[in-house]
Chains A and B, each alone.
Chain A
Amino acid sequence: MASLWRPTALLAIAFSPLLAHSQANYEIQVYGAETVPAETLMVELHSNFTVEGQQQTVDGVLPTNHQEHETVELTEGVNDWSEIGFYIFTSEQDGHGVQWVGDHIRPRVRIPDSWGWPVGVSLSSEIGFQRSAYSTDTWTWEIRPIIDKSIGRWYFAVNPALERTLHGPDVNQGWGFAPSAKVSYDITPVVSAGFEWYSDYGAIGNISPVHNQQQQLFVVTDLNVSPVWEINIGVGIGATSATDHLILKAIIGRRFDWGKHSPID
């Protein structure tokens, strides 16, 4: 993903400068094309803290400043080319306590490795609900093509996501364009470092002015401590007035292999 519900933020930005900071970062991740293996459950905790963000309540949406977002992501591998993910979003903030924000479901398919494509390719479709206190658009849908490639120590991934509102003020705004990308380098077998870029350009056919676009750049490290663990840590800055200015993020994931595996399988 990139930050969720960008259509909300973007379209709000496009039509009202007062809503320019209404973004919400719950799952900050550039997807790789690989899917979770069959009979395996990936449990991830996404922890994002907005150090410096929107400080006002805008159109009923709470300020993001000093919001702590905890997102639980459960992804089950279906077969060797598909998976299905489920998200539980929460937010904690002074004066509001811990709040349930919403849930999403995300099926994903990919090109099997055996097809021998030169790049990894997959496609996810994420649909879900979020409470109006956290997003004016309560039902959203994201289609995310995912392309990635490892070359030696380098890793590249691009997610040219399309997002739209299914229920809410922006339901008539059509599809928005929110691409993200990642480049990283394997310093050692365990430590990789790189950059992740997240953006939201607004509605396709009505691209927002630069200062109303969301543009975030994260410096990240991935720690490959074990095949069953996934650790990603980063710090991001927002480059436009429409973007939260400073965010810390961490993803900790663990694979649980619940299948009965035999050497003869």
Chain B
Amino acid sequence: MISRRDLLKLSTLVGLAPSFSVLGRDLAAPDYRIDIAPVTLDLSPRHRLKTTAYNGQVPGALLRFKENQPVTVEVTNHTDRPEVVHLHGLFTPPEADGAIEEGTPPIEVGASARYTFTPRPAGFRWYHTHTMAMDDLTRAQYSGQHGFLMVEPRDDPARYDQEFFLALHDWSGYLLANEDGAMNPSYAVATINGKAMGFGEPLRVKMGQRILLHVLNSSPTEVHWIALAGHAFRVVALDGNPVPTPRTIPMLRLAPAERVSAIVEMDNPGVWVLGEVRKHVQALGMAVAVEYEERRGPARWEQPSDLIWSYEQFAAAQPANASPAPPILVPLVFESRFRGHGAMEAWTINGESYPNAKVAPLIRGRRYRLQLINKSMDDHPLHLHRHSFELRTLGAPLTAARGAAPSEIGGILKDVLLLDAQTRAEVEFTADNPGASLFHCHQQNHMDRGFMMLFEYA
């Protein structure tokens, strides 16, 4: 095993290296190197666990790419099983996207793989393992294999004094019977950036600063609600894409794989808690102190009385990508299949589980509207690889009277949508990135059990 210190040293050296030109890239050192290896992680004084991580740390090193500037990343697998690293939210070719289902070759034990691609679009993305865990709640996304990835625009219009990247994660999973009669993962520990409350370094700020928070929910299965006591968030981007209507709100909701970028005005000196709104989750450790300069003492928490969130508040009245031709409708119905009270459910899209779930091939350049119909009793964070989609209608109950269509919205571009149980929603995307593109629920136990489908191009 490579020691954590060695890996940190290595990743620091490589991560700071300047980018090389495309010419001669194969001969040169990569711009970034990701080493996948076992680590022992101290989440808190009471919770030490063995997991797998990138470059010996959780989250993995922040990768900063320049938009449209080619980059080479080399990934080496030091674990005892094949791995693959998904570049979540990027429009990469299938062979570099990091999904074996799309055609990215797995990185065999002890092997390295080198990916050269042109990062786009700009914004807050992330990278993570895209393997299966099945019944092992320490593998795949249950492990520490996730890291931040920022594709910087050529001109950064954002105005902020300090930037923080925060990853919400759940650890030490165990199965618990759900009210719907099936087993689902629950967790013993919850962290921000791999540390439980009080164990990690506080976020140090100064009075009058504008800080930009990039929050990622890297949890394998859990939705999280985040608030910063004494402060509000001005949400400027969802899943790395600027929202048409930034709003100042008291809390954030992030489904697995979702990201929120928000500005916080540091105008209330003290030591505050930034953490999960729900008491039982914060009690598991999901919080971090925010410490103003020259302020000390216990961090203060102000408990919200409710959970408040909607995507619609950030929308524009008009769609971002109005197409003269009506979009091609693609109905996708999600259902569960009972596998026993002692098992997790299996999942289907239009009655079939992966790899049998299929739809007609995409035609390049055409606009598609996915009609997402969730007949199950679970919420699903739905993710489309290699494309962004635009939210068009949301939250219509399946039981709503025929003709009571929800109002249309536009302008919110995302790559993950949390579809509530027993509701339908519609999203649109343009088929402008040929190659196999995976569509799946980002809840690890759901994708493990069939909730995936490949969009193929004609």
Within 8 A of A (CB), among B363-388: none
Within 8 A of B (CB), among A149-173: 149-155
Q: A116-B174, A264-B303, A264-B305 are in contact. Are A224 and B279 (CB under 8 A)?
A: no
- A-side contacts of B280, CB under 8 Å: 265
B280 to chain A, nearest CB (A): 6
A153 to chain B, nearest CB (A): 3
A184 to chain B, nearest CB (A): 9
Q: Is the CB of B179 within 8 A of A227?
A: yes
Q: Is the CB of A116 within 8 A of B172?
A: yes
Q: Measured between alpha carbons, how far is A149 from B279 in the docked complex, in Å?
A: 30
Q: Is A39 an interface residue (CB 8 A)?
A: no
B37 to chain A, nearest CB (A): 24
Within 8 A of B (CB), among A90-120: 113-116
Q: Is the CB of A186 within 8 A of B341?
A: yes
Q: Is the CB of A263 within 8 A of B342?
A: no
Q: Measured between alpha carbons, how far is A263 from B188 in the docked complex, in Å?
A: 20
Q: Is B155 an interface residue (CB 8 A)?
A: no
Q: Is the CB of B174 within 8 A of A113?
A: yes
Q: Is B176 an interface residue (CB 8 A)?
A: yes
Q: Is A262 an interface residue (CB 8 A)?
A: yes
Q: Is the CB of B307 within 8 A of A154?
A: no
- B-side contacts of A16, CB under 8 Å: none
Q: Measured between alpha carbons, how far is A115 from B186 in the docked complex, in Å?
A: 11
In the complex formed, the residue of B with least CB distance to A117 is B174
CB contact between A150 and one of B174, B179, B340 (< 8 Å): that residue: B340
Of the listed residues A154, A189, A192, A262, the one surrounded by the most CB atoms of chain B closer than 10 A to its CB is A189
In the complex formed, the residue of A with least CB distance to B278 is A264
Q: Measured between alpha carbons, how far is A227 from B179 in the docked complex, in Å?
A: 6
CB contact between B340 and one of A113, A154, A227 (< 8 Å): that residue: A154
- A-side contacts of B188, CB under 8 Å: 114, 116
Q: A149-B342, A150-B340, A154-B340 are in contact. Are A114 and B174 (CB under 8 A)?
A: yes
Q: A113-B174, A113-B186 are in contact. Are A186 and B278 (CB under 8 A)?
A: no
Q: Is the CB of A154 within 8 A of B279?
A: no
Q: A262-B305, A265-B280 are in contact. Are A155 and B342 (CB under 8 A)?
A: yes
Q: Is B156 an interface residue (CB 8 A)?
A: no
B136 to chain A, nearest CB (A): 12
- B-side contacts of A186, CB under 8 Å: 338, 340-342
- A-side contacts of B279, CB under 8 Å: 264-265
Give the interface residue-count category, chain B: 20 to 34
Q: Is the CB of A264 within 8 A of B174?
A: no
Q: Is B330 an interface residue (CB 8 A)?
A: no
Give the interface residue-count category, chain A: 20 to 34
Q: A113-B186, A116-B172 are in contact. Are A150 and B338 (CB under 8 A)?
A: no
CB contact between A153 and one of B179, B277, B307, B343 (< 8 Å): that residue: B343
Within 8 A of B (CB), among A120-155: 149-155
Q: Is the CB of B343 within 8 A of A152?
A: yes
- B-side contacts of A263, CB under 8 Å: 278, 306-307
Q: Is the CB of B338 within 8 A of A188?
A: yes
Q: Measured between alpha carbons, how far is A227 from B188 in the docked complex, in Å?
A: 24
Within 8 A of B (CB), among A4-38: 34
- B-side contacts of A152, CB under 8 Å: 339-340, 342-343
Q: Measured between alpha carbons, how far is A186 from B339 in the docked complex, in Å?
A: 9
Q: Is B183 an interface residue (CB 8 A)?
A: yes
A51 to chain B, nearest CB (A): 31
Q: Measured between alpha carbons, how far is A114 from B172 in the docked complex, in Å?
A: 8
Q: Measured between alpha carbons, how far is A34 from B280 in the docked complex, in Å?
A: 20
- A-side contacts of B307, CB under 8 Å: 263-264
Within 8 A of A (CB), among B185-241: 186, 188
Q: Is B304 an interface residue (CB 8 A)?
A: yes
- B-side contacts of A224, CB under 8 Å: 181, 341
Q: Is the CB of B338 within 8 A of A189?
A: yes
Within 8 A of B (CB), among A168-190: 186, 188-189
Q: Measured between alpha carbons, how far is A154 from B279 in the docked complex, in Å?
A: 35
In the complex formed, the residue of A with least CB distance to B188 is A114
In the complex formed, the residue of A with least CB distance to B337 is A189
B46 to chain A, nearest CB (A): 12
Interface residues of A (CB under 8 A from B): 34, 113-116, 149-155, 186, 188-189, 192, 224, 227, 262-265
**What are 30 A-to-B residue pairs whose CB atoms are below 8 Å?**
A113-B176, A114-B172, A114-B186, A114-B188, A116-B174, A116-B188, A150-B340, A150-B341, A150-B343, A151-B340, A151-B342, A152-B339, A152-B340, A153-B339, A154-B340, A155-B341, A155-B342, A186-B338, A189-B181, A189-B338, A224-B181, A224-B341, A263-B307, A264-B277, A264-B278, A264-B279, A264-B303, A264-B304, A265-B278, A265-B280
Closest 6 pairs between A and B when the two form their complex, measured CB to CB: A150-B342, A153-B340, A152-B340, A116-B174, A227-B179, A114-B188
